[in-house]
Structure 1
Amino acid sequence: MEAKSISWIGGQHAFVLNIGQLRALQTNCNAGPETVLARIATGTWFIDDLIEPIRLGLIGGGMENAEAGPKVLHMLELHGAYSLKLTAHDVLTHALVGEVDDPVGEPDGVNLQETSGSSPSSTKPEPQ
């Protein structure tokens, strides 16, 4: 999966949760990724449900572990837990769903049939 650039209280960073990060999330939150996402969405989250997706997403996006953990904890201390909620939700949604605005299949209006270059209406004689 490609990293997603997210602007959050800690700055603009690349986030991605690949299989290794998702497994670490399960272990660290004692729940599967979709359960963690549901807890965030419904307001029944635990503090690690907010910290871990961001920390692990930063690591997956290329930040060193030694920098990612302290960065998230510093943002938590400065701004409070609730300020991490939308970022954690966004990182997890990207990992589980992909790009929300990326439609599946061909765009509307694409005609995959070969054409002769003229439309049926242009070859009919006009009524007089």
Structure 2
Amino acid sequence: MEAKNIEWIGGQHEFVLNIGQLRALQKNCNAGPEVILMRITTGTWFIDDLIETIRQGLIGAGMPNKEAGPMVLHLFELHGVLEFKPVAIEILTNALVGEDDDPVGEQAGVRQQENSGSSPSFTNEEPQ
């Protein structure tokens, strides 16, 4: 999975949740990533759902834990907690679904065969 560059309260950073970070996230939040995403989107989240998602996302993108943890906690002390929901949702969605422009289905370079038959033409004329 590739890191995603996201603008958020902490500035502009890359975030990614690889398998290691997803396992740490579910261990620290006592729930799987999809359950955490559901809790956040439905308003039934716990504070660690937000903190750990963001922290693990930064770590997954290469920020050392000794920097990510204190930075995230400091930002949570300075801002309203609800301001962190959008970035947590984006991080989890990227991990579970992938990028919006990631093609699903057809492989790149595959062309659909053009229909060589003719289609009926329609006119505005009324039948007689």
TM-score (norm 2): 0.82
Q: Find the counterpart in structure 2 of residue 111 from structure 1.
A: 111
CA distance in 1, matches of 2:57, 2:111: 39
- Give, in angstroms, the shift of residue 79 of structure 1: 0.8
Q: Find the counterpart in structure 2 of residue 26 from structure 1.
A: 26
- Give, in angstroms, the shift of residue 50 of structure 1: 0.4
- Give, in angstroms, the shift of residue 103 of structure 1: 3.0
Per mean C-alpha deviation after superposition, the further-off stretch among 50-59 and 71-80 is 71-80
Q: Find the counterpart in structure 2 of residue 14 from structure 1.
A: 14
Is the Cα contact below 8 Å between 1:10 and 1:75 reproduced in 2? yes
Give runs of aligned pairs for residues 82-121 of structure 1, distance below 5 A: 82-106=82-106, 111=111
- Give, in angstroms, the shift of residue 85 of structure 1: 0.6
> Which amino acid in structure 2 is aligned with residue 11 of structure 1?
G
Percent of paired sites with the same residue: 73
Query: Gapped runs of 5+ residues in structure 2?
Result: 118-128
CA distance in 1, matches of 2:14, 2:44: 27
> Which amino acid in structure 2 is aligned with residue 88 of structure 1?
A
> Which amino acid in structure 1 is aligned with residue 26 of structure 2?
Q
CA distance in 2, matches of 1:49, 1:42: 12
Structure (1 or 2) with the greater helix fraction: 1
> Which amino acid in structure 2 is aligned with residue 3 of structure 1?
A
SS in structure 2 at match of 1:5 = strand
Query: Gapped runs of 5+ residues in structure 1?
Result: 114-118, 121-128
CA distance in 2, matches of 1:88, 1:27: 17
Aligned length: 115
TM-score (norm 1): 0.82
- Give, in angstroms, the shift of residue 112 of structure 1: 5.0
CA distance in 1, matches of 2:99, 2:27: 25
- Give, in angstroms, the shift of residue 31 of structure 1: 0.5
CA deviation profile, 1:18-42 (whole Å, cap 9, x unmatched): 1110000011001111100000000
